[in-house]
Structure 1
Amino acid sequence: MRRREVLRLAAALAGLPLMQGCERVLRLGLPVRLNRPGMDEGHRLRAGLTPPEPAGERRCRVAVVGSGAAGLFAAWRLRKEGLDDVLVLNGPEPDGNAAGGAFGECRYPTGAHYLPLPSRESTHVRELLAEMGVIEAAPYAERPRFDERVTVHAPDERLWRDGRWQEGLLPRLGMGKAELAEQARFLAEMGRLRAARGADGRKAFCIPLALSSRDPAWTALDRISFAAWLDANGYRAPGLRWYLDYCCRDDYGARPAQVSAWAGLHYFCSRGGLAANAEEGAVLTWPDGLNPVMRHMRARIGAARQLDGAAWRIRERRGRAEVDYLDGQGGSRRLSAERVVVATPLFVAAHLCDALPSLGFQSRHLPPRAPWLTANFLIDRFPEEPHDMPLAWDNVVYGSQSLGFVVSTHQLIRAAKPERSVFTAYHAFAGGDPMAARRWLERADADALFDLAAADLSEVYGWRFRKNLRQAEMTLRGHAMASPAPGFLSNPGLLALREADDPLLFAHSDLSGLSLFEEAAWWGERAARKILA
């Protein structure tokens, strides 16, 4: 791993917490931490390096490999239903894409930063949120009551265009009548499709995806790209097309030409979650994104049932499943279980489990994966904002190749701005060659990564942003999420793993092809229910 022109910090800067493994952006003298979670472990698996045979064995009824949303949800469900003999192997990045961090008292996300109001079909998510107290009343009603502290406050979204802010992310100010008419037509069509149902009586687009209609009249949309569907339906207005491109990059890490038309429409037509005390389209958010949800599940599972370590082999022997893992201290150990929930991304599972081909999953069934860069910037003073357009929770730059930035302390700003805050910026490497992006991420130095991560903040604030910047952390994920390319709904390998059982079960959002918390939790739920049955 080459990190050129980067200096190691020898000590903490005055008044700031020391960040282990810090580096500097040379031009600014800024302390920066670079995280590449899972990279070393992934390269070892890909190279086929075999650690020493395990020195010890621990037996359990159920082992869960991976502690992202799917793995923790499976273990949470098993514990909730009274199954105590469960062990969770955390993997190289505990909490996965829902991980978080902190600069002292300022928490921030290093992955997902919000959860939409869960649909009525997402009863599994509603049950969890009710246990947390996030849903305060009527968890399974059409409009539950949510804790207002985590329901995103206004202003929630704004767009920077032509040197000024506008409310919302769909560009409207300065747009001509033809553009606005096309936007209105698109929104009306999405409203119609939200209510559409197939011949089987199911909603055409639903979360969880597995509950969507299987009517061929709707699934046929998966055979073409979203861009092709837009062209065929006459949606060509530049502002609208930029917005739809942004949405695809934001949720799928890919552009409309790379995304299934079914998935592109699913983005707009599947949500439908409502609240008794929030506007339609509201989301749930915490300073550190979805990490509080993960911490809640961990607390319910119990610390004694969670093990640090990364699996390097999963196999079936003598009627049981064995998980061999590195324990983080240079040793190799083994879990022997009646059932194993493989809750890793499928490109990892393909290296861990020799049994996948016999289950019907081949390497050609792996979905394309998008690389991502997430950056967190600690500021000690908020930049000045226009009086008529205050700082929002989500702030996006029109025409940018990045995805804007969210404000970790947004839920605290109602009374007065805190002394410090964290701005979280996102960049998906969409449209190009994912392998080339991964190679660039592997060898890029702190200066190059900072310039990319801070592009939108620099565009809006210029020197004012850097003047009050004190620390930064950048998280690089070469295989951050699966992208739903045309044909993903009928991927035979994914369909096979959804049905796998005894002793290996699979649980990950990859089984849906959509990198969403609700989907990951759904497959964790399904795996747990199979075991409980």
Structure 2
Amino acid sequence: MKFTRREILTAFLGLPFALSACKSNSETSSIDGEIVGASANIGHILRENRNVEVPANNWENLKVAIIGGGIAGLSAAWKFTRENFNDFVLLELESAIGGTARSGKNNFIGYPWGAHYLPVPFKENTELISLLDEMNLTEGKSQNGEILIKEQFLCREPEERVFYKGRWYEGLYLRVGASQEDLRQLNELNKQVDFWVNWRDTRGKRAFVLPIANCSNDAEVTDLDKITFADWLKQKGFTSERLIWYCNYACRDDYGLRLEQTSAWAGLFYFCSRVRKSGAESQSFITFPEGNGKFVNFLHNKVKDKTRLKSIAIEIIPNEKGIDITYLNTETNEIRGIHAEKVIFAAPIFTAKYLIRDFKQNTPDFVKEFEHNAWFVANLFLKDRPKNQFAKDFPLAWDNVLYESNSLGYVNATHQKGIDYGQAVFTYYFPMAEKGGRAKLFSLDWQELADIVLSDLSMAHKDIRALTERIDFMRWGHAMISPRRNFIWNGSREKATKPFRNIHFAHSDLSGIALFEEAFFHGLRTVSEILIAEPAGSGR
């Protein structure tokens, strides 16, 4: 069944947007573009349960095979090389490395296809700091031992602005027109954040910190996971429309979920985990035009000779001698196999039931607990940047949010380079939070997706269609794990983290939060598990 333009815009942007947009121009014939990334058909090979025969001369022996080339898989590979362990290979099904942290580049600048910043880590996160040191991003430490990042790699001002009722305003929380009650409730939320930032359990552990493995599991904290963030806000008496919007945006931004879908633990984690002490600002953002693609490219360059792209694992078969992996080179259609002693499974956990033979036959209950949501990302290539409608409008920032939109707005790739005039690349994000979002997303063609994005942005930028030369799209069917109510602390993550017959699991899914720091942590954790059990000098 084909939907009308009004029906599509209503589903994505809401009826008021749709009614307004349908009165305006929908022309995109002068705009080029495509849907990029791996075909959904390649991923669906996993679901086909293929039985393949590997030719005898296509087998090889390795100590370790890493399945998945996102941040977790790349971090594991990087850690192996740092430990002088080289008997491994990394298999990635796509033609480009990095998963949801990957990036693109045109003739003048890089741009993200997903994650686009990293908060400056606390001093306790020594392994992540060692990566930043290796990348030459740091410039020493403060008097209290916190890492200092070179200024050019910190997000430049202005960081954020929000579009509301025809005007652009500074910041993310909408202060213009806020009542005394609105501001009182915002102050009260900050007090709640301060309480949890200061909170420590009997072992001195924080309630919320990165990585999550270092968070307290005290019942006072974990009980927050049993209710939604929407319910927590109600219990605390928060009713301000502006504050509710602000918290809802936070959930959609980091988790792709609405308030009523998000665990209260996850909602508070967003506000508390990156604040060193009460009253302090959140940690500054490390960012680049290409977003977290900068980290992907650095890690990949370190392990490029160990990486095989366009290589989709078909089956992982534990046996008495180790593990057999069969995989398909999607470019040559060649079937190959690996006899490995260990596997690092750095793919999303839901794929385990399609890949691991034992899980196909009897899927563990905990695997079913891992739910993901869909997103799409659009990169708009502009011949010039839109002009503000009013002289007093807040100027173009790094992050540009539309208050009345279901999207998350866009980040400006040229911002960090200090390019404030002329060509630009806007990276637009849309989380599919509603039920059935994945099917809805993949039912749309390029033209329909382009119309959604341009109709949305035209509310703030009347000239967006005339300025846009190209729009490319990336559809993420399983973009990130969903920290819904009663998932983070229901025991499923802990069960999934345990090795299964020499298969070690490494993915941000295991934290319940899709963040760089979590993927990095799990990649390094699995390497440590393997090397501890490895005889000295073996594989080196």
TM-score (normalizing by structure 2) = 0.88
Q: Find out whether 1:266 has 2:269 as its counterpart.
A: yes
Q: Find out whether 1:521 has 2:499 as its counterpart.
A: no
Q: Is the 8 A contact 1:380 1:420 kept in 2?
A: yes
For residue 26 of structure 1, report the CA deviation from its aligned partner. 6.2
Q: Map 1:464-483 onto structure 2 (within 5 A).
A: 464-483=463-482
Q: Find out whether 1:369 has 2:372 as its counterpart.
A: yes
1:25-51 alpha-carbon deviations (Å, 9 max, x no partner): 963331111025362122222233444
Which of 220, 223, 227 lines up with 2:226 in the alignment? 223
1:361-400 alpha-carbon deviations (Å, 9 max, x no partner): 3366332211001000011112223554211000001121
- Distance, in Å, in 1 between the alignment partners of 2:142 and 2:263 is 33
Change (3 A) 1:97 1:383: same
Q: Find out whether 1:166 has 2:169 as its counterpart.
A: yes
> Which deviates more, 353-362 or 32-41?
353-362
Change (3 A) 1:54 1:98: farther
Change (3 A) 1:422 1:95: same
> Which deviates more, 193-202 or 521-530?
193-202
Q: Find out whether 1:27 has 2:28 as its counterpart.
A: yes
Q: Which runs of 5 or more structure 2 residues have no equivalent in the other structure?
A: 6-25, 533-540
**Helix, strand or coil for the counterpart of 1:149?**
helix
Which of 399, 402, 425 lines up with 2:407 in the alignment? 402
Equivalent position of 2:147 in the other structure: 144
Change (3 A) 1:211 1:359: farther
For residue 117 of structure 1, report the CA deviation from its aligned partner. 1.3
The residue identity in structure 1 corresponding to 2:354 is H
Which of 184, 205, 210 lines up with 1:207 in the alignment? 210
1:206-260 alpha-carbon deviations (Å, 9 max, x no partner): 1111110011111111111111111000111000001111110110111111111
Change (3 A) 1:272 1:45: same
- Distance, in Å, in 2 between the alignment partners of 1:481 and 1:512 is 11
Equivalent position of 1:9 in the other structure: none
Change (3 A) 1:41 1:375: same
Q: Is the 8 A contact 1:374 1:453 kept in 2?
A: no
- Distance, in Å, in 2 between the alignment partners of 1:498 and 1:187 is 34
Equivalent position of 2:430 in the other structure: 427
Q: Map 1:24-423 onto structure 2 (within 5 A).
A: 27-37=28-38, 39-53=40-54, 56-92=58-94, 94-138=97-141, 142-272=145-275, 280-328=282-330, 329-356=332-359, 361-362=364-365, 365-385=368-388, 387-388=391-392, 389-413=394-418, 417=420, 419-423=422-426
**Helix, strand or coil for the counterpart of 2:514?**
coil
Equivalent position of 2:503 in the other structure: 504
Q: Find out whether 1:448 has 2:453 as its counterpart.
A: no
For residue 418 of structure 1, report the CA deviation from its aligned partner. 5.2
1:487-532 alpha-carbon deviations (Å, 9 max, x no partner): 1123433212212165210000000110000001110010011112
For residue 359 of structure 1, report the CA deviation from its aligned partner. 10
The percent identity for this pair of structures is 34
The residue identity in structure 2 corresponding to 1:251 is D
Q: Is the 8 A contact 1:98 1:294 kept in 2?
A: yes
- Distance, in Å, in 1 between the alignment partners of 2:367 and 2:92 is 27
TM-score (normalizing by structure 1) = 0.89
The residue identity in structure 2 corresponding to 1:468 is L
- Distance, in Å, in 2 between the alignment partners of 1:183 and 1:269 is 15
**Helix, strand or coil for the counterpart of 2:207?**
coil
- Distance, in Å, in 2 between the alignment partners of 1:89 and 1:96 is 12
TM-align CA RMSD: 2.5
**Helix, strand or coil for the counterpart of 2:429?**
strand
Q: Is the 8 A contact 1:253 1:370 kept in 2?
A: yes
- Distance, in Å, in 2 between the alignment partners of 1:510 and 1:218 is 20
Change (3 A) 1:367 1:258: same
**Helix, strand or coil for the counterpart of 1:489?**
coil
The residue identity in structure 1 corresponding to 2:42 is E
1:75-101 alpha-carbon deviations (Å, 9 max, x no partner): 101110110112111222521010111
- Distance, in Å, in 1 between the alignment partners of 2:364 and 2:91 is 23
Q: Is the 8 A contact 1:425 1:454 kept in 2?
A: no
Q: Is the 8 A contact 2:120 2:286 kept in 1?
A: yes
1:322-359 alpha-carbon deviations (Å, 9 max, x no partner): 11111121111112211110000011122111234899
**4+ runs of 1 displaced by more than 6 Å?**
2-5, 357-360
- Distance, in Å, in 2 between the alignment partners of 1:382 and 1:79 is 43
- Distance, in Å, in 1 between the alignment partners of 2:306 and 2:203 is 46
- Distance, in Å, in 2 between the alignment partners of 1:119 and 1:54 is 50
The residue identity in structure 2 corresponding to 1:220 is D
For residue 292 of structure 1, report the CA deviation from its aligned partner. 1.2
1:116-174 alpha-carbon deviations (Å, 9 max, x no partner): 11133432211111110112223996432212222000000011112111111011101
For residue 417 of structure 1, report the CA deviation from its aligned partner. 2.8
Q: Which runs of 5 or more structure 1 residues have no equivalent in the other structure?
A: 6-24
- Distance, in Å, in 2 between the alignment partners of 1:515 and 1:142 is 28
